[in-house]
Structure 1
Amino acid sequence: PGGIAGHTQIQGKELSYNNIADADAAWECVKTLDEPACVIVKHANPCGAAVGDSLLEAYERAFATDPASAFGGIVAFNRGLDAPAAAAVSKQFVEVVIAPEFDTEARKVFAAKPNVRVLSASLARAAQTYDLKRIGGGLLVQSPDARNVQSSDLRTLTRLKPTRAQIADLLFAWRVAKYVKSNAIVFCARGRTLGIGAGQTSRIDAARVAVLKAQNAGLSLAGSVVASDAFFPFRDGVDAVAQAGAKAVIQPGGSMRDDEVITAANELGLAMVFTGVRHFRH
């Protein structure tokens, strides 16, 4: 229940293989967020995510993360879509829009763009029983990455402890990072993403890409928090995010060099928390 496979298509062209795969990534990510939220996915990776007092605010904040990558993306909402948010989305080129439902006025907005694929789906949050990946001649099967870490699960390893506001942003960043392909680095502040480094072959490069994305979007990383989907193998990644302006970090821990990384965080004035579990999306 609640999976993209059970969607209803309200309008638009036939869904392609990649449309469905990207829609699944966007839908699974937005369902993990409790406040009114928007997630934008491009090529299986979130390129913007945010919560807000309204869906319009959430969309505008998510879109601002990386407007270039949002072009031709998949846009998902975790509340019924209204006309103001629909009007904002319709100003951009999008492939698919997903929400639990669309009110009459929102449907009228999208009717003016008949090629846009508009999907409704249940918000049920039941986890998939298995996570499957095809390989030559067979399938890999594992249990899904279904756990949403809570504040009570976090261990602070640095002298400086995160503030309550930072903890909220760290948990938001951690939930988004779950759906970013590894190596993943996600900068966030005040319930929105600021820079996302996805699918890099080294963690330091993921950090550099995330910083570059934020710079390209004109977003400041001063005072931000950072999620790393797996442990920092060296202190260079911590140095990079601190130099960019981050003040708190969430990561699984578990590296042979955890002590070195914690020492670096202390030297740099960062608060750092460990989750004890990793994402490592492939």
Structure 2
Amino acid sequence: MKKKNLSISFSRRVVQYTFCIILSFIVLIPLYMGFVGGLKSNGQLLTDPVGLPNPPYYNNYIDLLTGSVGTFWRSLFNSILVAAGTVILTLIVCVMAAFALARVQFRGREIIKNYFMLGLLFPLAVAILPLYLQVKNLKLLDNYFGVILPQVAFQIPMTVLLLRGFFLHIPKDLEDACSIDGYGPLGFLINMVIPLSTPIIATSAVIVLVASWNNFFLPLLVFNTEAYYTLPMGVMNFQGQHASDWNLILAYLSLAMLPALILFVTSQKYIVAGLTGGAIKG
């Protein structure tokens, strides 16, 4: 019986590892094609799209990084600015809203919470026409806030849901201790809740940051001037300008992917810690 259980366990591990290896190849092959393709000349890419560059052609990356071709640094700056503004505003609004919905007793709290959750049912594409008219009426076209404010609005429901679930499980004894020390609700939030909630706040920040970084539709709607283009729009614009230079396009794509890859590698532990530390409770 013991040998049979060991055999079943071994078979399960083989299946799991095989699935993970196949999935890894599915993810890594496009990354390999992008980075290696950017190190080739156009002739090398057409004759041998899969093989290693021989010799490596570094001018693609050098031209992009020095600004002699494309506007990579400007698009990167725009993406960082929009993403940072979205994350900061979202966390300020959502931390206070989630704290009120989790720790403050008032009439209609559940109704307001459910109203927040209704936002999960409305993707950006559904509201794109009224959103565009509103942004235009506020004269926010070709303005960073024309992208930041709608992104904040659409990130509020999920972020409040995550934060509220975590705040609910902070012990009441800590709140009583803060009250004895003379702190009110705001003091309890600043001095106790926020320090204890660092994992879920970091998790929420990363989720909002990734959503903002990858957003293409909203910047396309708001930005008409190339100087405001974010990285996804920069890739589209660069591809249109250099349609025949696939080596340059792959190099640009690789550079555009690099910040997101670094972000995932460095923030993975925060995402796991936040989601396993009570983020999905409540």
TM-score range, shorter chain: under 0.3
Higher relative contact order (CA 8 A, sep 6+): 2
Bigger helix fraction:
2
More strand by share: 1
Q: TM-score, normalised by structure 2?
A: 0.21
Which structure has the larger Rg over C-alpha atoms?
2
